[in-house]
Structure 1
Amino acid sequence: MARIKPQALLQQSKRKKGPSRISASTIIFFCLILASIVFLLFMVYGRWFPRSRFRSENQMVVSKAENTLMDSKKSELPGYAVLNTSKGSIIIELYKDTSPEVVDEFIDLCQKGHFKGMHFHHVIKHFVIQAGENQGKGHSIDWSVRGKHTTSVKHEAFMLGTSMGKHTNKGFDLFITTAPIPDLNEKLIVFGRVIRGEDVVQEIEEVDTDEHYQPKFPVKIFDVTLQQKI
């Protein structure tokens, strides 16, 4: 057997330990796999993102539509009421935003003619004039002496209110204050204010009354007309 020279053995050992070369076909194969993965991710993102964006935009559109509908309903409601009384006309601005339920009830009763022919049955100077169903003598005297412990100034002069609690058709009275009356805060819900006709309110306030604060001569509301604008 022929001996291999040491120099030849060294070269042969280096060839065995050297790194194996990756073929071009293997590189192309892995590149194709990587490209396929990237393409699939792009497709999934492309389908999911528009749907998510569409849902978000759709929810925004629905929300805006609901708000617009609510605003349009509010704007469709009359904003003013004109009380045509035997002393003249009183124009009321209705508080549709702060007292929506009471305003809705008031508008409904106006449309049914509830206030036609209604009398101002109690008149107290520097306090309030009250129109509605007469609840008997002494009723407003009781009102004038109770509940003067609150400090709120919510009830300014020339504010329109009604009694708190659930109303019946006959129980929806109208109260117009003729001075700041903080002691009525626990009794009345303010749902409007007089913007024209303060002189008419004052004229009603000055009528002669008996000892029970009832006008000696009738003062009544002929009718109430509703208007969008004044």
Structure 2
Amino acid sequence: MDNDRIIFQQANEVRLLLLENGIAYSEEGAARRRMYLLAGFVLLIIVVGVGVYLYVSAPPNIVHAQINTTKGIIQVELYKSKAPQTVNNFVSLANSHFYDNLVWHRIAKGFVIQTGDPNTKGAVNSTRNTWGQGGSPQTIPQELDPSLHNDAGYLGMARGGDVNSASSQFYINLVDNRSLDTANRGYAVFGKVTSGMDVVNQIASVPVENVPQTSPLYNQPVDATSVMVTSITIS
């Protein structure tokens, strides 16, 4: 009997020891799982944070601008990924209020409307002979992207004979003008009207000076104050 009691007592001690060890192992495993879960959660936060930072800090491929005119609002999108220097120049000029109170000085019926000449500021009639000849101090290199064309509603940079002489003057195509896409000598397209082509067409419909093509007043609006850029805002 004593031997049986001793064996039974030893068996109970073994069971208790196994049970205690099992509980210890179970608690240790739970703690390890909690640690892994916490580490995974922290890693997830880091990954999401880095992703958000890269998204916010990355330069946008499309910049939106609002051209406010005396005829209404023209909304445009600018293709920074395809014409980065052109778009950056346009945005810089707009933000510095360079375009405020300039005239759409060239109304070429069935072709383009054009603005951006500082000589037209305030529509002072005494300076009309110089309209179309001015620009901003800094010129930009020609940026031609094969996916962009001088089609109706698209914005392009005006320039002189030097392909790298564009500065501030730009135009909006009234019709498809693929002849302006000439390789190497083409005119750089950098944006498109997304809303307000009716405003563009209103500007294009105003009366222009009835003068010979050789006159500096050719294609100028009769009433310049009715077709002005009041401001350009970037968003």
TM-score, scaled relative to structure 2: 0.54
Deviations for 1:183-212, whole angstroms, at most 9, x for unmatched residues? 4345222424243321222336x6546446
SS at match of 1:187: coil
How many matched pairs?
A: 184
Native 8 Å contact 1:91 1:195 kept in 2: no
Work out the CA distance in 1 between the residues paired with 2:26 and 2:75: 66
Work out the CA distance in 1 between the residues paired with 2:217 and 2:76: 27
Larger Rg: 1
Work out the CA distance in 2 between the residues paired with 1:178 and 1:156: 8
**CA RMSD of the aligned region, Å?**
4.6
Deviations for 1:94-120, whole angstroms, at most 9, x for unmatched residues? 215x44855564343134342356566
2:150 corresponds in structure 1 to: 155
Given the alignment of the two structures, is residue 179 of structure 1 paired with residue 175 of structure 2, yes or no?
yes
Given the alignment of the two structures, is residue 36 of structure 1 paired with residue 24 of structure 2, yes or no?
yes
Native 8 Å contact 1:121 1:131 kept in 2: yes
1:224 corresponds in structure 2 to: 230
SS at match of 2:98: coil
| Structure 2, gaps ≥5 residues long | 1-6, 118-131, 135-145
1:80 corresponds in structure 2 to: 66
Work out the CA distance in 2 between the residues paired with 1:180 and 1:24: 96
Q: Specify whether residues 124 and 107 from structure 1 end up closer, same or farther in structure 2 by C-alpha distance, changes over 3 A only.
A: same
Work out the CA distance in 1 between the residues paired with 2:99 and 2:47: 44
SS at match of 1:203: coil
SS at match of 1:155: coil
Given the alignment of the two structures, is residue 126 of structure 1 paired with residue 110 of structure 2, yes or no?
yes
Following superposition, the deviation at residue 25 of structure 1 comes to 2.0
SS at match of 1:23: helix
2:73 corresponds in structure 1 to: 91
Paired residues for 1:1-230 under 5 Å: 23-57=11-45, 59-60=47-48, 63=51, 79-84=65-70, 89=71, 91-95=73-77, 98-99=79-80, 105-116=89-100, 118=102, 124-132=108-116, 134=132, 154-162=149-157, 171-185=167-181, 187-193=187-193, 194-197=196-199, 198-203=201-206, 207-208=209-210, 210-211=212-213, 215-216=217-218, 218-219=220-221, 222-226=228-232
SS at match of 2:205: helix
SS at match of 1:180: coil
2:150 maps to a residue whose letter is: H
1:176 maps to a residue whose letter is: I
Q: Specify whether residues 218 and 202 from structure 1 end up closer, same or farther in structure 2 by C-alpha distance, changes over 3 A only.
A: closer
| Structure 1, gaps ≥5 residues long | 1-19, 137-149
1:56 maps to a residue whose letter is: L
SS at match of 1:37: helix
Following superposition, the deviation at residue 46 of structure 1 comes to 1.3
Native 8 Å contact 2:97 2:232 kept in 1: no
Following superposition, the deviation at residue 82 of structure 1 comes to 1.6
SS at match of 2:189: strand
Work out the CA distance in 1 between the residues paired with 2:46 and 2:230: 44
Percent identity, aligned pairs only, is 11
> Is the deviation greater in 213-222 or in 35-44?
213-222
Work out the CA distance in 2 between the residues paired with 1:64 and 1:56: 12
Q: Specify whether residues 212 and 36 from structure 1 end up closer, same or farther in structure 2 by C-alpha distance, changes over 3 A only.
A: farther
